[in-house]
Amino acid sequence: MKKDILSIFLLICFITACKKEDKDTVVNQNEKTSQTSFQSENIKEKILYNRAVEAAIWGLPAVNFQLMYKGMEKLNGSYNQIVYWPGLLSWKNQTLTPNPDVIYLMPFFNTEKGPVVLEIPPADSGVFNGSVMNYWQAAIEDVGPGGMDKGKGGKYIILPPGYDKSKVPAGYFVMQSDTYRGYALLRSVLKSGSSADVKSAVDYGRRVKLYPYSEASNSPQTKFVDASKAEFNSVIQYDNSFYQALNEIVQEEPFLERDRAMIDALRTIGIERGKPFSPDAKTKEIFNAAAKDAKEYLLSIYENTKPFYEGTNWFFPASDEYKMSVMTGYQKSEIYPIDNRAVCYMMAFFSAKHIGESQYYLLALKDKDGNFLRGSSSYKVIVPANVPVKQYWSITVYNRETHTFIRNSKWAARSSQTPGIKKNTDGTVTLYFGPKPPPEGESNWVPTDPNGDFELLARFYGPTKTLYDQSWKLNDVEKVN
């Protein structure tokens, strides 16, 4: 009798376990289905999806550039002109993680008809931090005190691919570009945050000149395009429109030698030089899924970058391999870090030739407890005294989803040059971030959007040794409510 009861009990346990296992299997399958944005019906669709993901990761820097140039076109600007902001940036500049504490100028060049000249003034009444980049935003060289002119100013001549350098007369700093199109990011640095010094920095920026080399003897005029009165939007859309921008790049620029392996992969998804790009409805559906998943993959890298200071959540997004690639013009054959390159251009634009020398950056996505920064909560950062900079430091808030200024925000940052910023008695500075100002007032506060997440970017202009050897250490972000 006891054996029968035991047998029945074991049978009931076995049936219950089987039911639980079946239930768990269904739950796991449902979770997997909900997390997968695209299910291929055949091998051709699977390959199309896979190659579209890789194309998005590979092409992100150029698409980033393309969207910025399109923003200039909307202002009736064109190549070989300079788009600029005659004052500090507001939220209407919807580019990726721009700097609100300097004056921005962006000369866009096209050398298809011949070399282009960029004239940089000497560092006298002002100073530039800047770089000239190709279509892929790979730095050709830096300008200003940290660049080829060493602060003395001069004429830079940007040469098209294959141009004979021997034709360039003496007196020019030569920049050989491997693409016809590109741009420079010039930041006119403030002496202080006063209105007078802002105006001085704008006036200094207007001394820049950009014109075709063929017109050099005719006292050519430089056209400046004012971008301050309208929204300038270059936010990357991770959907099928991404591939339209990528196709425009392929049509406009020849493939670089290092990218020849992408020619057939792009042809697979319908992008081919000299041919129309017209994806059907099903292909657009696949593109939507591929672009979204490419972004998710890059975010997984971004969110798990090795910290700059051990045990904190501040990090520098560019890997050593990426920095080496930029500094060597991607000539080191053993590496081609397209994943990290894409991570950098997912959340920013611009690349210095000598990354981290004239300016350095640290990002924070999480507080000291490892939780993401929520716009509905309040936080603080205590900036230690004696910040290792020759120029200035700042910390800026960005929308976590778009990596842009928060729309309609009063201001986006606080810096060592912010008028009225308060120091503690020991020389430290406490900055606050949240939807409402702290009891101490607004002087050291940056607003956040209570309906979204945010990220912080610390900038160090003119960094000194104690930043790099970490004898000076930026404190982690602390939640205060």
**Per residue in 317-344, pLDDT tens?**
999 999 999 999 999 989 999 999 999 9
- Please say if the pLDDT value at position 27 is more than 90: no
Name the DSSP letter for residue 42: S
Alpha-carbon distance of 407 to 233, in angstroms, equals 12
Give the burial class of 384: count Cβ atoms within 10 A of its Cβ; 0-12 exposed, 13-18 middle, 19 or more buried.
middle
**Residue 17 above 70 pLDDT?**
no
Between CA 46 and CA 39 the distance in angstroms is 8
Q: What is the mean pLDDT of the chain?
A: 92
Asked if 62 contacts 136 with a C-beta cutoff of 8 angstroms, the reply is yes
pLDDT digits (tens, 9 = 90+) for 345-402: 999 999 999 988 889 999 999 999 999 999 999 999 999 999 999 999 999 999 999 9
Q: Which residue has tokens 């990761």?
A: 57
Q: How many CA atoms lie within 13 A of 471 on its CB side?
A: 6
Q: Give the confidence band of 36 by pLDDT, cuts at 50, 70, 90.
A: low
pLDDT digits (tens, 9 = 90+) for 162-180: 999 999 999 999 999 999 9
For the cut 50, the answer to whether the pLDDT of residue 212 exceeds it is yes
Q: Express each pLDDT in 244-289 by its tens digit.
A: 999 999 999 999 999 999 999 999 999 999 999 999 999 999 999 9
CB 144 within 8 A of CB 129: yes
3-class state of residue 356 by DSSP: coil
Looking at residue 149, what is its pLDDT?
A: 97
Name the CATH architecture for the domain at 43-55+237-297.
Answer: Orthogonal Bundle (1.10)
Q: What residue type is assigned to position 62 of the chain?
A: A
Domain range annotation of the chain: 43-55+237-297, 75-229, 305-479
**CA 461, CA 466: separation in Å to the nearest integer?**
13
Amino acid at 218: N
Q: What is the mean pLDDT of residues 100-106?
A: 98
* Candidates 2.60.40.1610, 3.40.190.10, 3.30.10.20, 1.10.3720.10; CATH matching 75-229: 2.60.40.1610
Indicate the pairing of strand 116-120 with strand 154-159. antiparallel
CATH superfamily of 305-479: Domain of unknown function DUF1214, C-terminal domain (2.60.120.600)
pLDDT value of residue 270: 98
Interval 456-470: pLDDT, tens: 999 999 999 999 999
What does the pLDDT read at residue 37? Answer: 63
Q: What is the sign, positive or negative, of the torsion defined by CA atoms of 150, 155, 158, 159?
A: negative
The arithmetic mean of pLDDT across residues 118-124, rounded, is 97
pLDDT of residue 357: 86
pLDDT at site 40? 75
pLDDT > 70: percent of the chain: 92
Residues 6 or more apart whose CB falls under 8 angstroms from that of 266 comprise 51, 55, 246, 250, 272
Nearest residue to 352 via CA among 72, 128, 162? 128
